[in-house]
Structure 1
């Protein structure tokens, strides 16, 4: 599903975000990204989303070499990816329902199907009663859960999340990770950047550890 081969990313200001990074994530795998602030976790996710371009190396997603993929194809690449951003990126002039429905509208789903899918996604994140609310009327944690619903509403084959529990209390964080596991068990590939080491260890999944843009550990759980 994802392959990085000796990937480096250097920004114009000279910041070396990633250096010679190589790993593979198979279809249907569940994996966490951890590391200190500035270790390169968000940059890695942005490369997968084609929001950034690698300076060197090969980034492949679902067999497609993103370095050889024209920018005009980026929307098609992103249609196969659900992305949960650290800062929500909700549209404040649209209701919760319309925010969650947006990926389905872009993908060309029939209006008859959109309502059912949106309500199912909101129910999964515990916001079934908030579909007509405005984002700014919600708490930070509720806004984050709207972002989760938007990412999963179309059941994409790949789910990326950048610190998805940053605005949630421990109980809701564990429930959200449980939802990610449920989606993974239904075939979705999941890659989550998280600094919550307690929850990461509790989940017992593969962990990629970054430090200063380099992969310093690849921890695979022991078979039970």
Structure 2
């Protein structure tokens, strides 16, 4: 489903953000991406979502080589992705329903289909009763749930989250991770970047760890492969 083959990313400043990173994720797998600040986690996610291009090596998603993806095709490629951000990136001039509906509206879905899908997504994250609220009136945890509903409303094959619990307390963090687990249980491939090592350890999922742009750990705790 997802393959990084000896991927390098060097910025114009000369910084090597990723150094010969190779990894594979199977369809339907849920994986956590960890590492210190500046280790390369966000860079890896930006390459996966075609926000940036690698300096070397190949990134493949569902058999498609992103190195060869034309800029004009990137929006169509991203329709297969759901992306969750730490800071939500919600529109505060629109209500919850309209925020979640945005990907469907852009894709040209009809009004009835939009209504059905948005309410199903909001129900899944426990916010159906707040569809008419402005996001600014919601708690941080609720705002993150709106972001998750927006990311999954178009039924993506892959869900990517960059520090989705970074601003939440431990109880809310566990609830949000539980939602990702629920989506994974119905076949969505999930990749979550997180600093919350204690929570990740309890979930007993595969963990990929980066250090200074290099892959140093890959495996489920207790059954891992450590990279020198």
Q: Is the counterpart of residue 14 in structure 1 residue 21 in structure 2?
A: no
Q: Is the 8 A contact 1:208 1:219 kept in 2?
A: yes
* 136-145 or 171-180: bigger deviation: 136-145
How far did residue 95 of structure 1 move? 1.4
Contact 1:144 1:167 in 2 (8 A): no
Using the size of structure 1 for normalisation, the TM-score is 0.94
Where in structure 2 are the equivalents of 1:137-148 lying within 5 Å? 137-148=137-148
In the alignment, structure 2 segments of 5+ residues that lack a partner are 224-228
Partners of 1:124 and 1:108 in 2: CA distance: 23
SS of corresponding position for 2:191: strand
Instruction: State the 1:222 CA deviation.
Output: 6.0
Deviations 1:151-203 (A, max 9, x none): 11122110000011112222222122122112111111000001111111111
Q: For 1:134 and 1:8, locate their aligned partners in 2 and report how far apart those are by CA, in whole Å.
A: 42
Change (3 A) 1:120 1:168: farther
Q: Which residue of 2 aligns with 1:95?
A: 95
Deviation at 1:89, TM superposition (A): 1.4
| Counterparts of 2:22 and 2:42, CA distance in 1 | 16
2:112 paired with 1:112: yes
Aligned counterpart, 2:41: 41
Equivalence for 1:84? 84
TM-score (norm 2): 0.93
CA RMSD in angstroms, aligned pairs only: 1.5
Aligned to 2:207: 207
| Secondary structure class of the residue paired with 1:42 | helix
Using the TM superposition, name which of 199-208 and 162-171 deviates more: 162-171
Residues paired across the two proteins, number? 223
Does the alignment pair 1:190 with 2:190?
Answer: yes
Q: Report the secondary structure of 1:82's partner residue.
A: strand
Sort the Cα spacing of 1:109 and 1:221 in 2 relative to 1 into closer, same or farther, 3 A. Answer: farther
- Listed as ranges, the gaps of 5+ residues in structure 1 are none
SS in 2 for 1:14: coil
State whether residues 89 and 147 of structure 1, in contact with CA within 8 Å, keep that contact through their aligned partners in structure 2: yes
Superposed displacement of residue 15, structure 1 = 2.2
> Deviation string for 1:79-134 (max 9, x for gaps)?
00000012211122221111101111222322112112112212222222221222
- Aligned twin of 1:25: 25
3-state SS of paired residue (1:34): strand
* Corresponding residue SS for 2:190: strand
Once the two structures are superposed, the pairs formed by residues 128-207 of structure 1 within 5 Å of their partners are 128-207=128-207
Higher mean alpha-carbon deviation, 166-175 vs 40-49, is at 166-175
Separation of aligned partners in 2, 1:179 and 1:135 = 19
Bigger shift: residues 132-141 or 19-28? 132-141
User: In structure 1, how many angstroms separate the alpha carbons of the residues matched to 2:167 and 2:78?
Assistant: 25
Give the superposition deviation at 1:3.
0.4
